[in-house]
Amino acid sequence: MDSGIGLLPAAAAVRRLRPDADLLISNDPDGMPWGPRTIEDLTERAVAVALAAAEHGPDALIVACNTASVHALPALRAALEPGIPVIGTVPAIKPAATGGGKVAIWATPATTGSAYQRGLIRDFADGAEVTEVPCPGLADAVEHADRDAVDEAVAAAAALTPADVRAVVLGCTHYELVEERILAALEARGRAGLPPIVFHGSADAVAAQALRRIGAEPAPDADPTGGLTVLLSGRPGQLPAAALGYAESRLLGATAPAH
């Protein structure tokens, strides 16, 4: 679940691990974006999206949204657990910081500098030199597959990122959909003689954790028989046409909405 298509990387990660898994995507086009909402309003909408998914009897729920994981995870777990395990999404600061050096965390303006992110840095940065990079407009540009807006937002964030950064934490699930363009923008700043940048998203980790929570083993060679169901603010539907520009959507077998 997510407010928009930021859930695609996690869903695709589950699909790669279990091609036979039936996937249910529950998002909230009527209420997106969630970031600018009050915590109470965001929590109410996130719980509604989760309860709509719960009516279909899933084995587990991945909260594929950093903002909802920060603010609504306790309410989501209270509403669904223990019947349905709830897996949140946390920026991968701990693995990125392993080995020290310079690490950048790209996140939404609401998350950048928040007590939540600062707490993660304090607890898990492990001596790395961390730069928090706000990315205004990037998630919205990714959501609408607006290439020019994506490139503009990425360029602005790249300019705030140390040129010799060793690792980049993608602190918003939407950003994983444009990882290659983020890398291109950072490399354009000149990194001669420096090792390749390592990106740390959350999709693979939360997919693996979801399988562990339900006692399922990865089976990437399983028959690709898994189906796809989409809920749009609780209504049956299909992913928006903008989502089809991303490889993760095509991996899921998503099709364009009917007209």
Residue 259 falls within a domain, yes or no?
Answer: no
* In a shared domain, residues 192 and 208: no
pTM of the full predicted structure?
Answer: 0.92
Residue with tokens 């086009």: 29
* pLDDT confidence of residue 236: 95
The residue annotated as part of the active site, out of 1, 172, 182, 243, is 172
Do the Cβ atoms of 133 and 105 come closer than 8 Å?
yes
Helices (H), the chain: 8-17, 39-54, 66-71, 73-80, 93-97, 115-124, 138-143, 147-159, 179-187, 203-213, 247-252
The answer to whether residues 109 and 193 belong to one domain is: yes
Residues of the chain with pLDDT under 70: 254-259
Determine the length of the chain. Answer: 259
Q: Catalytic: which of 1, 65, 79, 254?
A: 65
Question: Would you say residue 244 lies in a domain?
Answer: yes
Summarised one tens digit per residue, pLDDT across range 234-258 is: 999 998 889 998 999 989 876 444 3
Same domain for 207 and 82, yes or no, is yes
Could you give the count of Cα atoms lying within 13 Å of 184 in the half-sphere of its Cβ?
8
User: What pLDDT is recorded for position 184?
Assistant: 94
Q: Is 177 exposed, middle or buried (0-12, 13-18, 19+ CB in 10 A)?
A: buried
Quote the pLDDT of residue 259: 29
- Of 184, 200, 216, the last residue of a domain is 200
pLDDT of residue 215: 97
Same domain, 215 and 194: no
Is 135 one of the catalytic residues?
no
Angle between helices 39-54 and 73-80 (to 10 degrees): 30
Task: Say whether both 225 and 132 belong to one domain.
Answer: no
pLDDT of amino acid 254: 60
Q: Does residue 258 form part of some domain? A: no
* 248: number of Cβ within 10 Å: 21
Question: What DSSP assignment string belongs to 6-34?
Answer: GGHHHHHHHHHH-TT--EEEEE-TTT---
Residue 142 sits in a domain whose CATH number is 3.40.50.1860
Same domain, 190 and 103: yes
The count of structural domains within the chain is 2
Of 180, 200, 220, which closes a domain? 200
The C-alpha atoms of residue 214 and residue 11 are separated, in whole angstroms, by: 16
* Residues spanned by the domain of 79: 5-89+203-252
- Say whether both 35 and 103 belong to one domain: no
Residue 14: both structure tokens together: 């589950």
Is residue 70 located within the same domain as residue 107?
no
For residue 141, what are its two tokens?
Answer: 């540009």
Same domain, 194 and 98: yes
